């Protein structure tokens, strides 16, 4: 049984592919995880390979009840809002990164692939076969481990409805393809709004005591970080105060970017902000950026990559 499997990643495209070979799912707004059910234990690994088992006790407890001896489930941990939509901010608060009444037990793992089952590596099987084996294990469950349903619909229509209902987007997967680690065209994501991850390189204090007025953000360009602007909306007052406390713990006198802003407080590039935005300006700055959540760089998620020519 593999100790870890590098996840398959979806390529961002502008519209859904069409044809009978494509299956569609909701694009969940959470943490990509692999749940390893092993003899005598359950392990939960992040996309970057970090062991976060202790952060998801309800998923661990429910995974123990699955009718398997060994398995690796690929999926997404989420918290659902009152309308059944995944909410990344609520997930962050449930994990204790930001203040909230949301409890860790509210976190649900939606399994969308099965990579290993009872001594058999399934990665060479086509998706339709992996799903055939996955569905009896998790379909119809109401606990912390559930099935991410395939949606039988026209791709364009499903995308339109998903966006109209405030979802992040949809995923299209080729039914006949094997499981391939890394990014490729066999999985595709179509998002309703632009959303990316940027390194937090500093902040500007708010006029409100102990709060943040604006986060200062950067993308990667090769081995360096490049300032891409900031965001000053998307958080409550309590969240703003908590953010400032987190950032004040990693202050630095050596900024990660070349930037001169009066009153700016610079921090080491250890945290990544999830940001929703409308577009880019001509000078490569974010337009109408809104904060959606924060995570450590170490969890292995991507940071927006600027082209060398930009």
Q: pLDDT by residue (tens digit) across 161-214?
A: 998 888 889 999 999 999 999 999 999 999 887 889 999 999 999 999 999 999
pLDDT at residue 302, as a whole number: 81
Strand 120-121, strand 265-266: pairing: unpaired
Q: Mean pLDDT across the chain, nearest whole number?
A: 91
Q: How far apart are CA 114 and CA 122, in angstroms?
A: 7
Residue 155: which residues within 8 A CB-CB, separation 6 or more?
Answer: 15, 16, 17, 18, 22, 24, 170, 172
Has residue 124 got a pLDDT over 50? yes
Number of Cβ within 10 Å of residue 117's Cβ equals 20
Domains and CATH numbers, the chain: 8-191 (3.30.470.30), 194-299 (2.40.50.140)
Q: How far apart are CA 144 and CA 63, in angstroms?
A: 8
Residue 56: which residues within 8 A CB-CB, separation 6 or more?
Answer: 33, 44, 77, 104, 107, 109, 144
Under the banding of pLDDT at 50, 70 and 90, the label for residue 57 is: very high
Q: How far apart are CA 251 and CA 260, in angstroms?
A: 16
Least confident window among 97-106, 132-141, 186-195: 97-106
106 with 79: CB under 8 angstroms? Answer: yes
27 with 188: CB under 8 angstroms? Answer: no
pLDDT tens digits for 233-279? 999 999 999 999 999 999 999 999 988 888 899 999 999 999 988 77
pLDDT at residue 309, as a whole number: 53
The pTM of this model reads 0.73
Q: Is 182 exposed, middle or buried (0-12, 13-18, 19+ CB in 10 A)?
A: exposed
Residue 27 is a catalytic residue: yes
Least confident window among 36-45, 84-93, 124-133: 84-93
Q: What is the CA radius of gyration of the chain?
A: 20
3-state SS of the chain: helix, strand, coil percent to 5?
Answer: 20, 40, 45
208 with 241: CB under 8 angstroms? Answer: no
Under the banding of pLDDT at 50, 70 and 90, the label for residue 310 is: very low
Residue of 15, 27, 193, 251 marked active site: 27
Residue 114 sits at the vertex; the CA angle it makes with 111 and 120, to the nearest 5 degrees, is 155
Higher-scoring residue by pLDDT: 52, 102: 52
Under the banding of pLDDT at 50, 70 and 90, the label for residue 300 is: low
Sign of the alpha-carbon torsion through 174, 175, 181, 187: positive
């Amino acid at each position: 049984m593999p100790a870890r499997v590098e996840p398959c990643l979806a390529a961002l495209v502008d519209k859904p592919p069409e044809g009978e070979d494509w299956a569609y799912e909701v694009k969940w707004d959470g943490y990509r995880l692999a749940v390893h059910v092993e003899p005598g234990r359950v392990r939960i690994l992040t996309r970057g390979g970090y062991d976060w088992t202790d952060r998801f006790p309800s998923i661990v407890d429910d995974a123990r009840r699955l009718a398997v001896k060994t398995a690796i489930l690929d999926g997404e941990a989420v918290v659902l809002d009152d309308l059944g939509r995944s909410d990344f901010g609520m997930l962050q608060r449930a994990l204790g990164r930001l203040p909230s009444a949301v409890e860790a037990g509210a976190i649900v793992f939606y399994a969308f692939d099965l990579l290993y089952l009872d001594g058999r590596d399934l990665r060479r099987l086509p998706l339709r076969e992996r799903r055939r084996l996955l569905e009896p294990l998790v379909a119809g469950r109401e606990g912390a481990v559930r099935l991410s349903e395939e949606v039988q619909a026209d791709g364009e229509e499903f995308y339109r409805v998903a966006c109209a209902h405030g979802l992040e987007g949809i995923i299209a997967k080729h039914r006949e393809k094997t499981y391939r680690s890394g990014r490729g065209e066999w999985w595709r994501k179509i998002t309703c709004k632009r959303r990316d991850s940027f390194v937090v390189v500093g902040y500007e204090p708010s006029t409100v005591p102990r709060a943040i007025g604006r986060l200062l953000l950067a993308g990667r360009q090769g081995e360096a970080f490049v300032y891409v602007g900031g965001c000053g909306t998307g958080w409550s007052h309590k969240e703003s105060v908590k953010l400032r406390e987190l950032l004040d713990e990693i202050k630095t006198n050596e900024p990660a970017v070349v930037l001169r802003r009066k009153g700016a407080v610079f921090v080491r590039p250890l945290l990544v902000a999830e940001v929703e935005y409308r577009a880019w300006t001509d000078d490569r700055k974010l337009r109408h950026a809104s904060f959606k959540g924060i995570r450590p760089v170490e969890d292995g998620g991507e940071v927006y990559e600027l082209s060398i020519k930009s």
